[in-house]
Amino acid sequence: MSEDGFEFIKGGTVTSPPGFRAGAVSAGISNVPDKLDLGILCAGSPCAAAGVFTRNRVQAAPVILSRKRVEKGRASAIVVSSGCANAFTGEAGLNDAWEMTELAADLCGLSPDEVLVASTGVIGVRLPMAKVKQAMGKILLKVDGGHDLAHAIMTTDTVPKEVAVRVRNGFTIGGIAKGSGMIHPDMGTLLGFLTTDAGVEPAFLQKALKKAVDISFNMVSVDGDTSTNDCVFLLADGQAKGSVINEGSPLAGKFQKALDAVCIHLAREIARDGEGATKLFQFTVLGAKNQSEARAAARAVTSSPLVKAAIHGADPNWGRIVAAVGRSGAAIEAARVDLKFGEVYLIKGGALQLFDEGKVVAYLKGTEVSVTINLHLGRGKAIAWGCDLSKQYVAINSEYTS
């Protein structure tokens, strides 16, 4: 059990919180034979609901529909497809998204307006609704179905992303996510489905999710591209004993910390599984003038192709990092900067240090790389996650639709 009063559940997933079931089938939407590509997450009782969506001005039909439904603060199921984004598909795409929720509602015993919808895949292609209709009724909802659902939302991902935490004498939060490419701050082809058996007031649920997403998914960059389909949903079914959590509740802080931990874990796994990635890259900014500038600097570094290429090549090219911070808009004074790779300082007080380059190169050859900069200008701090940039990334994305 952590100091914050929660523990990670071995094998935990989105259906770990009591009351939730999920399932998935191969509908033939994906161009990968027999891949699970259509799934449903369903609660056994009414839920408070929250959602955070892409800021891309081109928004997919599922995003448009789900955004409207989340505003009500209530939803009890999510239906999702992978292989087709249902984006840039006009009125027909909206009708397809609505029909997906209608089909899922029939299976879950709900009304369509209680169902959220998400899709991921190729943009500009209509969903094969005949296949969707035929397959939807074959979905078997199970308490351990979160694992299948985690596989169903994958596109270029190489591994599913799943997690759950249990809060001492309280409640459970579980989640799954997908994301490997088109990942950039403010979310990029990123789907996240979170659940909890805590009873949570809808307005606080939305605020808590927004805060958690801002320090996790919104601090991940794989390639600098932001998708049309991003969404993170959180459903709370209230099955756990106890009073409803709101902003003034004694449990509000514990709920936020546990939710933050779930989201950060999933965000790190997305960065680790970036298309063609061989390393997880964490960049920490300390001593910025404020948090906003710290976030800007951290994002600039983790999304820099030059920095990412250097990380891939185990090249301790600190100049690229300083340059990225300098163009981020964050204040920086060269004479104050400290910079370290792992625990080895390359710069202190703006002066280049004598360091063992071989030791740093060896560190950079590992599968997890952490770099920290202290600007010594204030109290702003932020952490961002990214990955290295390899030849495999180009290979994957040059053949994506073929």
Looking at the annotation, which residues are catalytic?
189
Element (H, E) at 100: helix 90-108
Contact between 157 and 177 (Cβ < 8 Å): no
Contact between 231 and 64 (Cβ < 8 Å): no
Element (H, E) at 299: helix 291-302
Q: Give CA–CA dist 237/235, Å, rounded.
A: 6
Strands, E, within 212-332: which ranges?
Answer: 231-236, 280-288
Contact between 14 and 192 (Cβ < 8 Å): no
Across the chain, how many H-helices and E-strands are there? 11, 16
Residues contacting 332, CB < 8 A, separation 6+: 297, 322, 325, 326, 375, 377
User: Strand 338-341 relative to strand 280-288: parallel, antiparallel, unpaired?
Assistant: unpaired
φ, ψ for residue 352, nearest 5 deg:
-65, 130
